[in-house]
Structure 1
Amino acid sequence: MSLNEESSAKCFGGLQKVFSHDSVETKCRMRFSVYLPPKVFEENFQDGKLPVVYYLSGLTCTEENFIHKSGVQKYAAELGLIIIGPDTSPRNVGVSGENDSWDFGTGAGFYVDATEPLWASNYRMYSYVTKELPAIIEKNFPASSSARSIFGHSMGGHGALICALKNPGHYKSVSAFAPICNPSECPWGVKAFSGYLGANKESWKDYDATALTRGYSGEKIKLLVDTGTADKFYQDCQLLPENLKNAVDGNSDAFDAKFRFHGGYDHSYYFIASFIGEHLKFHASALQTEIA
C-alpha cells in the first residue's frame, strides 16, 4: 500500500497534509488529512511517537471541511497532537443510487459496515476508521499505537461515539459536537440504517450509541458532548442528546461524562470553532501520561 501526498501547507509551525491511498475496506481511493505539529520537526524528536486524535466529519463533508474551517491546527500545535481526518464515505464506486441523496450514499457513510448486498462491498467505514486507517497512520507517521482519542461532528459525532463504545480501551477519550446520539430513533438514522443494515432494527443497535451505552461494561469512557440549543437539527429531533445522557446516567459507573448545552449556537463550523480548543484540551488531558 502506497500513500500519495495530495497537498501540504505549513500551519502554526507544523504541516497540514492530505494523502490518498487505495483502501482494502472500501475498495476505492480514499483521502485523509494529517496535521503534524511542530514538535515532530524538532531536532531532538528523532524517532519519538505523539498522541493521535481522530476526527470524523458529518454529512456531505470530505476530509477538507474540518481542516479549513475549525481552527484545530493552533491547538494541536500547542498541545503536541497529531490530528487525523478521513473522508466520510467511499466515492465513485459505481453503486446504483450512491449520488441520489445528500444524506445517504456519497458523503454519508454513517461509519457503519453495511450488510445490505448493494452497499456491503464498499461501505465499510467502521472497519476503515477503526482498523485500516490507524494501521496506515501508525506505519507512516510518528503516531502512538496506544495513545489515541477520537471526536467528531453530527454524523461524525455518532461515528466517534460508536467507535469508542465498540472498542473499550482503544481510545483514551471521546468527544462530539452535535452528535446523532440515537440514530435508530431519528429520520437521518432510520434512512441510513434501513439502507445500509436492512429492516431488522435489532441489528441497528450495534451502531446506535444510546443502545450501546445501555449495555456497555468495558473500560471507563471519558466523554464530552456539546450541543447548541439553536441547532435546527437538535430542535427537529435528529440529534437526541438527552437520550444518550439518560443512558449514560443509567450506567454511570462506566462513564466519566459531561453533556453541555450552549445557548444560541447552531450546527455549523462556527459552533465547532468556538469550542475546538476545549475539546483538544479535554483529549490532551486524557492522553497526558502518554504526552509526558
Structure 2
Amino acid sequence: MAGFKTNSTIASCGGKLLKLNHESKVLKSAMDVNVFLPPAAVDGKKKVPVLFFLSGLTCTPQNCSEKGFFQSAAAQHGIAIVYPDTSPRGSDHPGENDSWDFGSGAGFYINATEKPWSDNYNMYDYVVSELPEALFEEFPQLDADRVSITGHSMGGHGALTLFLRNPGKYKSVSAFSPISNPINAPWGIKAFSGYFGEQNKAKWAEHDATELIKKYSGPSPEILIDVGTGDQFYKDKQLLPENLVEAANDSANYKGKVNLRLQPDYDHSYYFISSFAKDHVEHAAKYLL
C-alpha cells in the first residue's frame, strides 16, 4: 500500500480489522488508524458506507475497536468503521505529557492557534480532510459520498462539532457521553485555554456544539445521544448534554430532534459504549443505506 502501512489484519465478525499506520502532514506525526471492513467490502469489489468513531481522552484506535463491540452490527449492515487516533504522537512539546486531559491523547478535534500546539495539533483538519481523503484514495470500496460520524466523550464533542461545522458532509451524527458544552465545562475550559488562548472566546464558541446548534443551517437528521446516569463525569458537569438539548429546542433546525437518552446506572466506560453500540450503528444505517 502506498500511503498506509498495514501492521496487522485481524478477522472480525466475518470482515477484516486493519491496523494501519501512515504519515500525517497536518499533524507532522506518524499516526495509527484502525479500519474495519465488513464482509461485503473485504474483496474490494463493492462500495460500502463509512462510520467514523472518534475516541475520548487518553484513547488510541485500539480502545473502541477492541472493546466497543461495533464490528458485529457494522458487519450486519455492511458498514465500514474508521477508528482514528486522538492526537499527534511524540511531538515533545513542553508539558505535552504532564496531564491526561491536555496534550498527548487529548487533541480535542480542533486546530490549535497557540504556540507550540499550533505547529501540529490540527486534529480538525486531520479528521475532516486529510485522513478520509487518504483512506478513500487507498480503499476504493469506501464510499466517500456516504459517511457518518459518532464518538465518545471528547470524541462525542468532536463528532457533534464536526457535523455541525460541516453541513451535509456527514449523513448522521450520534454520541456517547459527549462533552456537549465545553466552554462551560472544566475539561473544555482547560483545553480551549491552552489550544486557543484564554481570551479567544470567539474561537472557543466555534468548537462548542451547544453554541453551534443555535445557528446551524443544513440537513438535520435526528441526533442520538446516550449518557449514563451513573457517569461521574456527567454528575460533575463535564458533559452538560441538557444544555445542548435546550439550545437545539431554541433553534430553527433542531427543535425536538436531539434524542438524549439517559441510561440508568451506566458509567463512562466501554461497558457503557458496548451496551449501546448496536443502537448507534443502526442510527447511522438509517441515513447511510
Report TM bin, short chain: over 0.9
The letter for the 2-side match of 1:165 is L
Q: How far did residue 252 of structure 1 move? A: 5.0
- Pairing 1:1-292 to 2, within 5 Å after superposition: 2-41=3-42, 46=45, 48-141=46-139, 142-199=141-198, 200-251=200-251, 253-254=253-254, 256-288=257-289
- After superposing the two structures, state which structure 1 stretch, 249-258 or 140-149, moved more: 249-258
Runs of 5+ unmatched residues, structure 2: none
Q: Give, in whole Å, the separation in 2 of the partners of 1:112 and 1:197.
A: 9
Q: How far did residue 30 of structure 1 move? A: 0.7
For the Cα contact (< 8 Å) 1:151–1:174, is it kept in 2?
yes
Q: How far did residue 259 of structure 1 move? A: 1.1
Q: How far did residue 17 of structure 1 move? A: 1.1
- After superposing the two structures, state which structure 1 stretch, 54-63 or 257-266, moved more: 257-266
Spell out, residue by residue over 1:204-257, the C-alpha distance to the aligned partner (whole angstroms, 9 max, x if none).
001011010111112224311110111000000000000000011111534633
Q: How far did residue 170 of structure 1 move? A: 0.3
Partner-residue secondary structure (3-state), 2:278: helix
Partner-residue secondary structure (3-state), 2:88: coil
Q: Give, in whole Å, the separation in 1 of the partners of 2:286 and 2:203.
A: 35
Partner-residue secondary structure (3-state), 2:91: coil
Q: Give, in whole Å, the separation in 2 of the partners of 1:58 and 1:153.
A: 5
- After superposing the two structures, state which structure 1 stretch, 49-58 or 137-146, moved more: 137-146
Q: Give, in whole Å, the separation in 2 of the partners of 1:39 and 1:252.
A: 39
Partner-residue secondary structure (3-state), 1:60: coil
Q: Give, in whole Å, the separation in 2 of the partners of 1:212 and 1:253.
A: 12
Scaled by the length of structure 1, the TM-score of the pair is: 0.95
- After superposing the two structures, state which structure 1 stretch, 131-140 or 251-260, moved more: 251-260
Partner-residue secondary structure (3-state), 2:16: strand
The letter for the 2-side match of 1:139 is E
Q: How far did residue 102 of structure 1 move? A: 0.4
Q: How far did residue 148 of structure 1 move? A: 0.3
Partner-residue secondary structure (3-state), 2:121: coil
Q: Give, in whole Å, the separation in 1 of the partners of 2:230 and 2:42.
A: 42
Counting matched residue pairs gives 285
Query: Cα RMSD (Å) of the superposition?
Result: 1.2
Partner-residue secondary structure (3-state), 2:170: coil
For the Cα contact (< 8 Å) 1:218–1:254, is it kept in 2?
no
For the Cα contact (< 8 Å) 2:216–2:253, is it kept in 1?
no
Q: Give, in whole Å, the separation in 1 of the partners of 2:173 and 2:272.
A: 18
Q: Kindly, what percent of the aligned residue pairs are identical?
A: 49
Runs of 5+ unmatched residues, structure 1: none
